[in-house]
Amino acid sequence: MNSSDDPLEAELRALGESLHVPPPPEAMAGRVLTALREPAPKRRFTTKRLVAVVAAVLVVLVAATPQGRAAVAGVLRFAGVEIEVGGSAPVPSGSPSPLPSETGAALAEARSAVAFPLVVPAALGEPDQVRVADGGQVVSMYWDAIRLDQYDGSLREVWHKELGEPFPQQLWLGTTSGVWIPQQHGVEYLPVGGGAPVSLRLAGPTLIWQHGRVGLRLEGVPDVEEAKRIAASVR
Amino acid sequence: MNADDPPPLTDDEAVGRSLAGDLTAYEALVTRYTAIAHRTAFLLGAGDEAEDVVQEAFVKAYRHLRSFRRDSAFRPWLLRIVANETHNATRSRGRRADLSVRLEAVREPGGPEDPQDTAVAGDRSARLLAAVRALPDREREAVVCRYFLQLSEAETAEVLDCPIGSVKSRTHRGLRRLREEVDRELL
């Protein structure tokens, strides 16, 4: 994967090679072996250790509270979406792009262009617009401000999201589970053939769930109950 | 004992023997990976403490060798411990990890090149390095792993303990920022 036509990447590799790094330590093996032959240090409650224990307990407490969870980096993989929760919400850099090779299609065309069964939420009716992208990897349907993306959610991570607080909310849609992201967040699409992720515009509140092997993300419905109602109506 | 030199142990054989308590086998692993471990610690910000970080990482790796999955590669597993130890060291130092590296003197060109070109190239490298230093932590770590250490995306993901998707997006964002930064300064 190191072959690349990007001159900046080549320049960075060359820069790395020209960096002055101190020579590697000699006799490291001897130092390590000496350390390993010493008996493991006895556990004494020195101040340093006590501080460490208190810090560990705090981390557990923080991680156990909903407010604290977002402070601890975590990764949630769900229905083809990788959600990374970190300390702060990253501001997407650069301008938003469409999905790779995105084209408009009639619903019937879209159905035959993709390898997974498309669904339509009865609560919204026929979509105003249907778009197929990345060689049939993703189908996006639009109704006014609402967007529904469908993709094969069983094979790989298709979307990547990085969020700040709050932690996404896990909920039930009948017998399947879903994830609700209430805040605005950056979304990136991970193309099927590898390559650079495509960053989309800032997404609004989003509901993510899986219907059979199809992953769905519903965006643009600000109220979670309404989003759940739409999700429950997919056929 | 064979008269011929025995072939060098593979990583997996060395791990197997180390698990059985053979410290000589572990010594072979330490010798094999000291240079990359040290470079990783240094470039991720361990600075003067890089040697201690590497020693501690090898000691911890040995003590946790049972948790190593034998069907995976030893190098990224070790480098992840190195990265963790580097974080611990920089955190206890109470300051943000930085790339305490300086540019090696610009190499003498082989032929009769215009010294102006060399100076410009050196200047650009210095600016690029400064821009890498100024990246947000996550993006900087990804860029350092991918380009300065020349690790694969999968190795970087393991070393930084994050999904491959994050490596891709952090690298991508970092590159975009670097490009903007370097281009801006050219104006």
What is the secondary structure of A118-166 as a DSSP string? ---BTTT-S-SEEEEETTTTEEEEEETTEEEEEEETTTS--EEEEE-SS
Contact B38 A90 (CB under 8 A): no
pLDDT given for residue B9 in this prediction? 86
Give the residue among B145, B169, B144, B143 at the shortest CA–CA distance from A162: B169
Question: Are B118 and B106 spatial neighbours (Cβ–Cβ below 8 Å)?
Answer: yes
Q: Please say whether the dihedral angle defined by the alpha carbons of residues A120, A122, A124 and A127, taken in this order, is positive or negative.
A: positive
Residue A30 is assigned to a structural domain of this protein: no
ipTM reported for the complex, 2 dp: 0.84
Backbone angles phi, psi at A173, to 5 degrees: -120, 90
Residue B162, CA distances (Å) to A40, A224, B138, B139 in order: 31, 29, 10, 12
What is the Cα–Cα distance from B166 to B179, expressed in whole angstroms?
19
Taking CA–CA distances from A36, the nearest residue in chain B reads B59
Write out pLDDT tens, residues B103-159: 544 444 444 445 555 556 667 888 898 899 889 889 999 999 999 999 999 999 999
Distance between alpha carbon B150 and the CA centroid of its chain, in Å?
8
Residue A170 is assigned to a structural domain of this protein: yes
Residue A50 is assigned to a structural domain of this protein: no
pLDDT given for residue A1 in this prediction? 45
Residue A24 is assigned to a structural domain of this protein: no
Taking CA–CA distances from A162, the nearest residue in chain B reads B166
Confidence of residue A178 (pLDDT cuts 50, 70, 90): confident
Residue A84 is assigned to a structural domain of this protein: yes
3-state secondary structure of A98: coil
Of A14-23, A210-219, B85-94, B141-150, the range with the lowest mean pLDDT is B85-94
Confidence of residue A90 (pLDDT cuts 50, 70, 90): low
Q: Identify the residue whose tokens are 């849609």.
A: A173
What is the Cα–Cα distance from B8 to B31, expressed in whole angstroms?
12
Taking CA–CA distances from A17, the nearest residue in chain B reads B148
Contact B178 A12 (CB under 8 A): yes
Give the closest of B104, B169, B175 to A18, CB-based: B104
For residue A162, give every residue at least 6 positions away whose Cβ sits within 8 Å of its Cβ, in sequence order, or none: A83, A84, A85, A86, A89, A90, A185, A186, B166, B169
Tell me the two tokens of residue B41: 């610690």
CB neighbours of residue B175 within 10 Å? 21
Contact A24 B34 (CB under 8 A): yes
What is the Cα–Cα distance from B87 to B52, expressed in whole angstroms?
13
pLDDT given for residue B109 in this prediction? 41
How many domains does the structure of chain A reveal?
1
Residue A151, CA distances (Å) to A135, A199, B142 in order: 11, 17, 28
- Give all strands of the β-sheet with A74-78 in edge-to-edge order: A74-78, A81-85, A159-163, A186-189, A198-199
Contact B166 A84 (CB under 8 A): yes
Residue A115 is assigned to a structural domain of this protein: yes
CB neighbours of residue A212 within 10 Å? 11
Contact B172 A162 (CB under 8 A): no
Q: Between chain A and chain B, how many beta carbons pairs sit less than 8 Å apart?
A: 133
Residue A63 is assigned to a structural domain of this protein: no
Q: Please say whether the dihedral angle defined by the alpha carbons of residues A57, A63, A67 and A69, taken in this order, is positive or negative.
A: positive
Residue A7 is assigned to a structural domain of this protein: no
More confident residue, A14 or A85: A14
Of A159-173, A176-190, A207-221, B133-147, the range with the lowest mean pLDDT is A159-173
Count CA within 13 A, CB hemisphere, residue A27. 4
pLDDT given for residue A182 in this prediction? 86
Question: Are B61 and B2 spatial neighbours (Cβ–Cβ below 8 Å)?
Answer: no
What is the Cα–Cα distance from A109 to A111, expressed in whole angstroms?
5
Taking CA–CA distances from B60, the nearest residue in chain A reads A36
Q: All domains of chain B, ordered by start, with CATH?
A: 9-96 (1.10.1740.10), 115-187 (1.10.10.10)
CB-CB neighbors (< 8 A) of A32 in chain B: 26-27, 30, 55, 58-59, 62
- pTM exceeding 0.95: no
Tell me the two tokens of residue A204: 């609004």
Which domain covers residue A73, as residue numbers?
A: 69-232
Please report, in angstroms and rounded to a whole number, the separation of the first and last CA atoms in chain A.
41
Question: Are B37 and B82 spatial neighbours (Cβ–Cβ below 8 Å)?
Answer: yes
Mutation target among B36, B173, B180 for the A interface, most CBs of A within 10 A: B173
For residue B114, give every residue at least 6 positions away whose Cβ sits within 8 Å of its Cβ, in sequence order, or none: none
For residue B185, give every residue at least 6 positions away whose Cβ sits within 8 Å of its Cβ, in sequence order, or none: B127
Distance from CA of A155 to the nearest CA of B (A): 14
